[in-house]
């Protein structure tokens, strides 16, 4: 069995896919970001700003475009497995990084009205030099807040969000979700400030 399954890379190997950025001006915000692919990596940078009508920071994200090539089956790494990201950041102190994936068969959770349902996890980028970050599948939750990007906050509308765990297994990724990944995204969300992240690869592994 392979040690890992590459879900995305920017080195010209593995099937290459299109990526795009989306920012919160789609909802009246002022955040901005850009994406440049080259030199075996993708550089995603910009600034997350306060969305006036929310009086809270908005978001920037880089997402894989839909359509082929299909993502490989990550389900062999379901038991005790994780997502592995090879990346670095010139702004490691920025505290709003998140990573998410969408999968076939996901249901919308309460308080979600925009975009595609995703499993999302906090992403701490440890260093300004390339390093591997391991995020167990259990750190990803469905139904994160559209206001904060987090799984443990209460929306201004009163909806309380919950994180994947023994109390809320319905919010955790399943083996069948990992077998049918449909999209990946990296977020700068819920924290105001400048950010820059350089990503080499995303993989599923032990």
- Would the pTM count as exceeding 0.75? yes
Summarised one tens digit per residue, pLDDT across range 100-131 is 999 998 988 777 777 789 999 999 998 889 99
Per-residue confidence (pLDDT) for residue 199, from 0 to 100: 97
Which residue did the predictor score with more confidence, 86 or 29?
86
Where does the pLDDT of residue 15 fall: very low under 50, low under 70, confident under 90, or very high at 90 and above? low
Give percent of the chain with pLDDT exceeding 70.
98
Phi, psi dihedrals of residue 167, rounded to the nearest 5°: -80, -25
Rg of the chain taking only CA atoms, in angstroms? 16
Per-residue confidence (pLDDT) for residue 29, from 0 to 100: 87
Q: How many residues in total does the chain contain? A: 206
pLDDT at residue 98 above 60? yes
pLDDT at residue 163 above 80? yes
Determine the average pLDDT of the residues in 14-42: 88
Domains in the chain: how many in total? Answer: 1
Phi, psi dihedrals of residue 32, rounded to the nearest 5°: -145, 150
Per-residue confidence (pLDDT) for residue 127, from 0 to 100: 84
Q: What is the CATH number of the domain that holds 121?
A: 2.60.120.430
Determine the average pLDDT of the residues in 21-45: 91
* Residues spanned by the domain of 143: 5-205
Phi, psi dihedrals of residue 24, rounded to the nearest 5°: -70, -5
Determine the average pLDDT of the residues in 163-184: 97
pLDDT at residue 67 above 80? no
Cβ contact 164:49 at 8 Å:
no
Q: What angle is formed at CA 35 by the lines to CA 17 and CA 124, rounded to 5 degrees?
A: 95
User: Taking all residues of the chain, what is their mean pLDDT, rounded to a whole number?
Assistant: 92
Determine the average pLDDT of the residues in 31-53: 94
Determine the average pLDDT of the residues in 27-45: 92
* Helix H or strand E segment including 195: strand 193-205
- Distance, in Å, from the CA atom of 161 to the CA atom of 13, rounded to the nearest integer, reads 39
Per-residue confidence (pLDDT) for residue 188, from 0 to 100: 98
Cβ burial, residue 89 (10 Å; 0-12/13-18/19+) = buried
pLDDT at residue 14 above 70? no
């Amino acid at each position: 069995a392979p040690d890992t399954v590459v879900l995305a890379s920017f080195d010209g190997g593995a099937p290459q896919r299109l990526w795009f950025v989306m920012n919160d001006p789609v909802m009246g915000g002022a955040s901005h970001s850009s994406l440049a692919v080259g030199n075996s990596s993708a550089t995603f940078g910009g600034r997350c700003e306060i969305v006036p009508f929310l009086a809270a920071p908005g978001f920037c994200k880089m997402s894989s475009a839909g359509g082929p090539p299909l993502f490989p089956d990550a389900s062999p790494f379901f038991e005790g497995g994780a997502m592995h990201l090879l990346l670095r950041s010139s702004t490691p102190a920025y505290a709003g990084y998140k990573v998410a994936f969408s999968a076939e068969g996901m249901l919308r959770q309460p308080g979600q009205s925009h975009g595609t349902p995703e499993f999302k996890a906090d992403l701490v980028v440890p260093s300004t030099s390339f390093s591997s970050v391991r995020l167990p599948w259990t750190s990803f939750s469905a139904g994160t807040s559209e206001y904060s990007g987090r799984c443990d906050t209460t929306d201004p509308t009163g909806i309380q969000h919950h994180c994947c765990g023994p109390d809320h297994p319905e919010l955790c990724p399943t083996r069948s979700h990992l077998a049918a990944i449909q999209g990946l995204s990296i977020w700068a969300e819920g924290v105001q400030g400048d950010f820059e992240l350089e990503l080499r690869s995303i993989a599923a592994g032990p």
